[in-house]
């Protein structure tokens, strides 16, 4: 599990969060840049950059895509 929160801003198709609480100590004080797309009731977001796997270094570079859908 990875969790983080903080103030955010929207710039074009980027969601940028200044991390002030996190389960990943190296993320504290950084900005997380996520690309997002909204279509109907579905929101998808992903990291802007490919990153090293923080959970399993043997997996190499990875990009996580999160999908959320509004419950009706």
Could you tell me the residue ranges of all domains in the chain? Answer: 4-69
- Could you say which DSSP state residue 30 is in? -
Whether 31 shows a pLDDT value over 80: the answer reads yes
- pLDDT at residue 15, rounded to an integer: 87
Mean pLDDT score across all residues of the chain: 84
More confident residue, 2 or 21: 21
At residue 59, the 3 state secondary structure works out as helix
- pLDDT at residue 72, rounded to an integer: 83
Residue range 44-68: average pLDDT? 73
Give burial (CB, 10 Å; 0-12/13-18/19+) of 61: exposed
């Amino acid at each position: 599990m990875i969790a983080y929160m903080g103030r955010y801003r929207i710039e074009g198709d980027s969601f940028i969060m200044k991390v002030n609480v996190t389960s990943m100590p190296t993320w504290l004080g950084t900005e997380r840049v996520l690309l997002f797309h909204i279509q109907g009731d579905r929101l998808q977001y992903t990291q802007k950059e490919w990153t090293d796997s923080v959970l399993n270094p043997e997996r190499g570079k990875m990009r996580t895509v999160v999908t959320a859908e509004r419950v009706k």
